[in-house]
Amino acid sequence: MTMPVVLVASDVKPIDGYQWHASPSTYLSALIERADVMPLVLPSFGPAIDLDAVLARVDGVVCTGSRSNVHPELYGGVADERSEPYDRARDATTLPLIRRAIALGVPLLCICRGMQELNVALGGSLGSEIQDEAGNMDHRAPVSEDQAVRFSIRHGVDVAPGGCLGRVVGSGQILVNSLHRQAVARLAEGLVVEAVAPDGVIEAVSVRGAKAFTLGVQWHPEFWAKTDTPSGRIFEAFADAARERADARG
């Protein structure tokens, strides 16, 4: 059996006088240790990347979470200091990457910012600072220097029966670790809601009629992928789809 190779989206960050294209280690270790696939970080060079050539050589795509947000201009919004930072180089790479992965039937897992990118890539919009809206929970991370506290599993989501996520984790309620202040506002026409939080915030989506496994989750299964059953199952399902593609590619 061929080991799958999956692309991982990168953030662009100024560090030590350089522009670094990087991904947090939690995603990479979850892919290596839980999913048993080989991650490759894709630099965010936008249109300079031949996406079809790259996607023909890999077996999956992961769009990670990030501190940065999708730029509002991409969904008809207006930039606001409260929604910073932005990462235009990542936007220019991930949005077309998502569209091509879906079109070519490449398995796709989108986490947190990645799920928001998926919605925007397909024509949806986002809402910012959702904790300020009447009736909404505070989905932001607890203030702590301890990552295990920040990424603690804190609230339930109701999983739609029979959908992509439901087939992976079962229908009903699961507990998740949401850490976000933006969320889906207008759902893209091609997306299906897979899970919602108690306040109605959309927490998971899939792509209607997708050729391969395609799932977006607003929480962070990568952090507890080795110890939390639903988190691990999400990575297993993505890995199974990637292995199927790897075997077909030979």
pLDDT at 129: 76
Q: What is the mean pLDDT of each run of 10 residues along the chain (250 residues)?
A: 92 96 97 97 98 98 96 93 93 98 98 98 90 73 83 92 95 91 93 95 96 97 95 97 93
Catalytic residue among 71, 112, 117, 180: 112
pLDDT at 213: 98
Residue ranges of alpha helices (H) inside 190-228 are: none
For residue 177, how many other CB atoms are within 10 A of its CB? 19
pTM for this predicted structure = 0.95
Catalytic residue among 117, 194, 203, 222: 222
Q: Can you tell me the distance from the alpha carbon of 43 to that of 11, in angstroms, rounded to the nearest whole number?
A: 8
Q: Can you tell me the distance from the alpha carbon of 68 to that of 180, in angstroms, rounded to the nearest whole number?
A: 11
Backbone φ and ψ of 60, nearest 5°: -175, 165
Domain boundaries, the chain: 5-249
**CATH fold for domain 5-249:** Rossmann fold (3.40.50)
Per the annotation, the verdict on 164 as an active-site residue is no
pLDDT at 223: 95
Catalytic residue among 21, 71, 139, 220: 220
